[in-house]
Structure 1
Amino acid sequence: MLVFWKERLILLAVPKTGTTALEGALAPRAQFVLRDPPQIKHAPLYRARRFVVPLIEAAGGSGFETVAAVREPVDWLGSWWRYRQRDDLVGHVNSTRGIAFEEFVDQYARGKPAPFASVGSQARFVGDGEGSIGVDHLFRYEAMDQLIGFLEERLSMQIELPRLNVSPEHPMELHDHVAAKLRRKREPEFAVWQAARG
């Protein structure tokens, strides 16, 4: 999470949406950088409103807007699945090593997924807690150029994004019935992505 004081802007770090690269490019320009541990870096909107905004307001700040990116849900899950195949997770309950992408998606679509498929919710991350989008400026990860354009205009700077924290490529097979189950069980994930700019 990055806070830009003069511009009254908070950039939320939705996991697996290029936030490490954005942080790499913009952290020197931000007045407030929350990068570690991951639970703080990736604090969702409701946590930012509960903890960060009151801190800002106590320092005399007001009128801050939020900006974030969300990723197409199947692609987002694919990034998580690939990321959790890394060597340092082998033997851990979160490891997806040896688990097919389709099994990962099927688990994610359940009410209580296995630990390896418990990756949170983009819809909840950017939501207002009442079923609506709470982030002021929401962009699709796939339209990163639009998010960069917004940030360049808002921050009055040119942004060059480095490629950081990129998951290794692996083929991802997903049969229609599992894709349909995901859409049915996790409809808010698709609705939020559809509503985002891009």
Structure 2
Amino acid sequence: MLVFWKARLVLLAVPKTGTSAYAEALAPHAGMVVSDPPELKHAPIYRYNRFFRPMFEKMGAENMDVAAVIREPVSWLGSWWRYRQRPFLDGRAVSTKGVTFDAFVRDWCAKSRPAHANVGAQSKFVEPRPNGTAVTYLFRYEEREALDAFLSNRLGVDVAPGRANVSPAAAQEISRETEALLRQVGAAEFALWEGIESGTRVAE
């Protein structure tokens, strides 16, 4: 998570959406870089609301904008599946080695997800809180130029991050039946991504 105090802007680190590259590129311009522990680095809106918002408000920033990047759901799950095939996870319950992408997606759709498919949901990550705390700017992962332009304008610096923490390449094969199941179980994920107008302030 990046906090740009003077710009009154917070960029949440939604996992598997390329925000690690932005953290590396923009760290010198940020007032706060939350890189550890992972629970705070990847703080969803409910955790931001609980731990960070009260602190910022006490310091006089009552109107911080919050931005987040959302990835197309099949691609997002694919990145998780590939990431968890890495050798350093071998033998652990979260490893996807030996698990096909089709099986991984079905496991994510299950009512009780096994450890390797328990990766959360983007819609839950940005779900507004009862007190009104919510993401104010959403961007599609696939429209990176819109995020770059937004940050450049907001921060007054050139934004051109590289790539970081990239999952290894692997063929992602998914059956029509499994994709149909995903679209049913993960309807909120697709609705979220499809409804984004990158860089446009989210209606309150």
TM-score (norm 2): 0.93
TM superposition shift of 1:133? 9.8
> Which residue number in structure 1 is paired with residue 42 of structure 2?
42
TM superposition shift of 1:197? 2.3
* Residues 149-168 of structure 1 mapped to structure 2, 5 A cutoff: 149-168=149-168
Alignment RMSD (CA, Å): 1.4
> Which residue number in structure 2 is paired with residue 75 of structure 1?
75
Change (3 A) 1:31 1:53: same
The 2-side partners of 1:117 and 1:193 are apart by 20
Q: Does the aligned pair in 1 maintain the 2:49–2:133 contact within 8 Å?
A: no
Give deviations 1:68-126, integer Å, cap 9, x for gaps.
10000000000000000001100000000010000000000112211000001100111
Q: Does the aligned pair in 2 maintain the 1:89–1:95 contact within 8 Å?
A: yes
**Where does structure 2 lack aligned partners over 5 or more consecutive residues?**
199-204
> Which residue number in structure 2 is paired with residue 179 of structure 1?
179
Matched, 1:20 2:8: no
Where do 4+ consecutive residues of structure 1 move more than 2 Å? none
Q: Does the aligned pair in 2 maintain the 1:68–1:137 contact within 8 Å?
A: yes
Q: Does the aligned pair in 1 maintain the 2:35–2:41 contact within 8 Å?
A: yes
Amino acid at match of 1:144: R
**Where does structure 1 lack aligned partners over 5 or more consecutive residues?**
none
Give deviations 1:121-153, integer Å, cap 9, x for gaps.
1001111147x9931000000001101111111
Report how many aligned residue pairs link the two structures. Answer: 197
Amino acid at match of 1:59: M
Q: Does the aligned pair in 1 maintain the 2:18–2:141 contact within 8 Å?
A: yes
The 1-side partners of 2:84 and 2:187 are apart by 24
> Which residue number in structure 1 is paired with residue 65 of structure 2?
65
Q: Does the aligned pair in 1 maintain the 2:81–2:101 contact within 8 Å?
A: yes
TM superposition shift of 1:39? 1.0
Aligned sequence identity (%): 47
Amino acid at match of 1:186: G
Matched, 1:55 2:55: yes
The 1-side partners of 2:119 and 2:184 are apart by 18
TM-score (norm 1): 0.96
Amino acid at match of 1:97: K
